[in-house]
Structure 1
Amino acid sequence: MLSILDRYILRKYLGTFILLLLLFIPIGITVNLAEKIDKILANEVPFIEVAKYYLDFTVYFANLLFPLFLFLSVIWFTSKLANNTEVIAFLSSGVSYYRFLRPYIIGATIVCIGALVMGMYLAPMASKGFNEFTYNYLKKGKRARNQSNVYRQINENEYIYVSYFNVKEKSGNNFTLEHIEGNRMTYKISASRIKYNEIDSSYSLFNFKKRIIGENEDILERRSKVDTTFTFELEDLTPVEYIAETLNYTELNDFIRREKARGSSYINRYEVVRYKRWSLPVSAYILTIIAVAVSSMKRRGGMGVNLAIGIAIGMVYIFFDKIFGTMAEQSTFSPFIATWFPNFVFGILAVYLLRNAKR
C-alpha cells in the first residue's frame, strides 16, 4: 500500500514530468515548423500529411528527449519541496532517506516501462512516418547517400561488391558478383560500371566480363555493354541509413541477423539503435536518483542553483550519449559499451551523490 507521502510525491513526479512534456513539445513543433514552413508551402504538402508528420514528430521528439525532461522535472518539484522545508519535515518524522526515495523509484519504474513500450513499438512507427515525410517532401527522395566499398551477401550463394555508388546517378564503379557453391566459385561477373534503369528495373553493365570456372578450363565472355536483371534490389547498393529506427524490436533483431549474414558495413549503427532501446529507459532510474540527490538539499541560491546544476549534468549526459554513439557508428568501437557507458558513469555519480545527500 502506498502511504500519503508516496502518493503525494508520485503525483508530483508524474504530473511535473507530463507537464514539462506538454510545455516543451509545442515549442519543439513551433521551432520545427518555422524552419520547414517554406519547403512545406513550396511543395504544396497536403494538410493531412503535415498533421500526421507533427503527430509522429511529437512521439519522436518525446522519445528522444524524455531523459532530459524527466531529469529537469524531478529537480524542479524536489527543489520546491526542499525550499518549502517539506523534505526536512519528511525526514524529521523518522522517514529514512531511502524510504523517502521509494515513490521516486516507483515513478521511475512507471516511466521506464512507458519508455520501453514507446521505444520498442511506438517510436519506430513514428520514426518511419517522420523520416518518410522528410525524404518525400523536404529532401526530395534523397534517402541514401553515396556509398564507398559496398560489399554484401545477397543470398546464400552470391556476393556483390561496388567500389563506389552514386545515389543521384544510380550508377557504380568496379562492380563484381561472385557465385559460390560450397567452397568453390562457379562463376564471376565484373564490370567497370553498373547503372540501374528505373524504367524496367534492369541493370546496364559496361565493359562486361563473365568467367565461368570449369574443372579443366574457364570460359570467358566479354562485351562492351550488357543489359540484365539481378536478384538484388537497388537498396542493397544504397542502404537507407534510418531503416533500423523504423523497425520494432523483433523486426530489428531479425534485420540485424540478416545484415550480419550479408556483411553489411552498417552493423554498428544498427546495434547502437538496438542497445539504446534498453539503455535510455534504464536511464530513468539513474537520472531520477541524481536529480533527487542534487535538489533535495535546501540551498542558499534556491531553485535556480539546483536547476543550473541539473541542466549542466543533463547536458553532459547527452554529450556522452552522442559522442560514444557516434564513435560506435563510425568505427569498430563496441556499440554495447558505447550505449551503456553513459549509464555506467552516471550510475557511479548517482551512488556518490546519494551517499552525500543521505549524510
Structure 2
Amino acid sequence: MKILDWYILKRYLFTFLMMLLLFIPIGITVNLAEKIGKILENEVPFPAVAQYYLDFTVYFANLLFPLFLFLSVIWFTSKLANNTEIVAFLSSGVSFSRFLRPYMIGASIVAAFALLLGLYLAPLASKGYNEFRYKYLKKNSNVIETQDIYRQINDHDIIYVSRFDPKMKRGNKFTLEHYDGNKLEYKIFADNITYVEQDTTYKLTNFVKRTYDENDEVLESIRRYDTLFKFDLDDLTPANYMAETLLYGELTRFIEKEKKRGSSNIGRYEVVQYKKWSLPVSVFILTIIAVSVSSIKRRGGMGVNLAFGISIAMVYVFFDKVFGVMAEQSDFPPLVAVWFPNVIFGMLALYLLYNAKR
C-alpha cells in the first residue's frame, strides 16, 4: 500500500506546487501592468521593484492559499476518477478512509507550511509589500486624516487629538491628561501638535498646562513650546496593516498594548491573529471536501467537478471575507468570525465524506 500512498502524495504536492507556479506569475503580471506607470514615473530602482515582487509573491500566495489548494486537489483527483484509477483502488479492497490517508499526510505537510508562512514569512513580506506601496505608489495620493483619536498610552497618560494628518505629521486640538491613580495631576492643551522628525520632538502651538494640587490650580501658558512625550507617532496613526507585518509574538504583545490603550481596531488585529491558526485547519477541511466531491466519476467529466469545486471555494472565500469585515467594523467577536467558516465547512466536509464512503 505504500506505492498507493506515494503515488497520491506526490500528485497532491506536485499539483499544488504547479497551481502556485501557474497563478502567481499571472498575479505578478496583472499587478505590474497596473503599477508600471507609477513605477516609471517615480523612477523606482530595480532592486526595490524586485524585492517588492518577491514580497508580493509571498503576500499573494498567503492570501489565496486555500483556493489554490482546493482547486489543485479537485483537479488531480478528478483525473484519477476519470481514468477509473479510484475505482481500481477501491475494488482491490482499499477502504475509502484508507484511500484518504495520503491526502491527509499531504494536508499535514501543506498545513505545516501554511503555519510557517502565516507566523513568520507572510508578516515580513507584508511589511515590505506595504512599505513599497506607501513609499512609491501612493506617495502622491491624498492621505486620509485620522479623526477623534482617544488613547491611553500608558498607566498614567491619556491623549486626545481631534484630527491628525499623517502626511504633514500634524494634529489639531491636542489634549494630554496625566493621572496618579485616580487623581488628575495635570492637563495639557494645545491648538496644534506637530512631530519634528529630525530630533523626535513635538512642537505645540498655544500650549496651556493646568497643574492641580489639593488647594490650588497652576496655569502655565506659552505661545510655542517644544517638548518630548512618552508616545510615538504610531500611537497617533497606527497603520491599518500594522498587525499583518508583525511576527506572532510581536502581534500578541501589540494587541495587549492596544487593548490597554482602548484602541478601536482590536477586532482588525485579532482577526489577523486568529487567521494564522485557522488557515492550517482549513487545509484539512478543504482537502476532505475536494476529495469527496471529485472522487466520483461523473457524466460531465472533470468540468462538472471543477465547476462544483469552484462554487464551494467562492462561497468559502465569501464567508471568510464577510465575517472578517463584520469583526473589523463592528462588535462581532473576531474568534467567531474567523472560525465560523471552518465550522460550517467542516460539517459540510463530514457530510460529503459520509456520502462519498457510501
- SS at 2:231's partner residue? coil
Whether the 8 Å CA contact 1:328–1:335 is kept in 2: the answer is yes
The residue aligned with 1:55 is 54
2:142, 2:258 → 1: CA distance? 19
Write the mapping of 1:177-326 to structure 2, written as runs, cut at 5 A: 177-326=176-325
Q: Give the letter for the 2:111 counterpart.
A: C
2:144, 2:349 → 1: CA distance? 41
1:64, 1:255 → 2: CA distance? 22
Deviation sequence 1:166-222 (CA, Å, 0-9, x none): 223333233210111122111011234333344544333344332111111211233
Alignment gaps of 5+ in structure 2:
none
Q: Give the letter for the 1:129 counterpart.
A: G
Q: Report how many residues are paired.
A: 358
The residue aligned with 1:160 is 159
The residue aligned with 1:126 is 125
2:5, 2:159 → 1: CA distance? 61
Write the mapping of 1:132-171 to structure 2, written as runs, cut at 5 A: 132-140=131-139, 145-171=144-170
1:73, 1:170 → 2: CA distance? 48
- SS at 1:209's partner residue? strand
Give % identity.
68
Structural RMSD (CA): 1.7
Deviation sequence 1:96-141 (CA, Å, 0-9, x none): 1111111111110000001101110011111111111111111128
CA displacement at 1:56 relative to structure 2: 1.0
- SS at 2:331's partner residue? coil
TM-score w.r.t. length of structure 2: 0.95
- Shift in alpha-carbon separation, 1:339–1:143, aligned structure 2, 3 A: farther
- SS at 1:45's partner residue? coil
Write the mapping of 1:342-353 to structure 2, written as runs, cut at 5 A: 342-353=341-352
Q: Give the letter for the 2:316 counterpart.
A: Y
- SS at 1:215's partner residue? coil
- Shift in alpha-carbon separation, 1:174–1:143, aligned structure 2, 3 A: same
The residue aligned with 2:18 is 19
Q: Give the letter for the 2:349 counterpart.
A: A
1:257, 1:141 → 2: CA distance? 34
Whether the 8 Å CA contact 2:143–2:165 is kept in 1: the answer is no
Whether the 8 Å CA contact 1:82–1:298 is kept in 2: the answer is yes
CA displacement at 1:303 relative to structure 2: 0.2
- SS at 1:54's partner residue? helix
The 10-residue stretch of structure 1 (126-135 or 149-158) with the greater mean CA deviation from structure 2? 149-158
Q: Give the letter for the 2:218 counterpart.
A: I
The residue aligned with 1:78 is 77
- Shift in alpha-carbon separation, 1:238–1:129, aligned structure 2, 3 A: same
Whether the 8 Å CA contact 1:203–1:227 is kept in 2: the answer is yes
Deviation sequence 1:58-97 (CA, Å, 0-9, x none): 1111111111000000000000011111111111111111
CA displacement at 1:164 relative to structure 2: 2.2
1:302, 1:179 → 2: CA distance? 71
2:188, 2:85 → 1: CA distance? 76
TM-score w.r.t. length of structure 1: 0.95
The 10-residue stretch of structure 1 (171-180 or 338-347) with the greater mean CA deviation from structure 2? 171-180
The residue aligned with 2:97 is 98
Alignment gaps of 5+ in structure 1:
none
